[in-house]
Amino acid sequence: MALPSRSFLCLRHGTTDWNRQGRFQGRTDNLLNTDGIAQARAAASRLAGVPVGVIVASPLRRAVQTAEIVGAALSLPVAIDAGIIECDFGSLEGQSIRDTMRKHALTALEQLVSILPADGEPWAAVSARALGCIATLQNRHQGAEILFVCHDAVMQAIAQVLCGSFFENRYGTPFRFAREGDGWTVHEIGQFGQM
């Protein structure tokens, strides 16, 4: 598996109606709702003090919308890359996350990876393609601070491989995956680029 060579930024898209309803969204191509647009604008404010050089978004509209709002604020174009598209949840698409957890007696969101359906994307494939995408783009844009605008499952898969666990991710909140020696940490970026 290809791994990133240096630190990078990730931003989960703003909310959609399906997010608010607690449904598996995966590859279903929903738009941001009004809260999601406000979250994208807030993310742009948080990133104002960060020297972002490249913005890359998942091709799903909720990620593209979020990236375009941030890109407009930072005067940067948005590139699209399917390597960071959300996990395909197969037959779970559109289902209630809470009901699915109850049905399978799961107590933590990270346990969902153990019951992903065979007609969806394998969990290991999510991290492999996302990390490969990041590594490739870092090689292409040497020295540039890259912001990847993507999805929760993608960011959790990355965190699991690099940091060893899931983390508390929120809509429209930028994080830095920071390489520290041989290890990695993930930190929220606060107001005006502060960590």
Residue 63 has a pLDDT of 98
pLDDT in tens, 61-78: 999 999 999 999 999 999
Q: Which domains does the chain have, with CATH numbers?
A: 8-193 (3.40.50.1240)
Q: Check pLDDT > 80 for residue 89.
A: yes
Give one DSSP letter per residue of 95-157, joined into a string. SBHHHHHHHTT--SGGGGGGG--TTS--HHHHHHHHHHHHHHHHHHTTT-EEEEEE-HHHHHH
In terms of pTM, does the model score above 0.85? yes
**Residue of 86, 93, 151, 168 marked active site:** 86
Q: Note if 86 is an active site residue.
A: yes
Which one is catalytic: 13, 104, 110, 188? 13
pLDDT digits (tens, 9 = 90+) for 125-143: 999 999 999 999 999 999 9
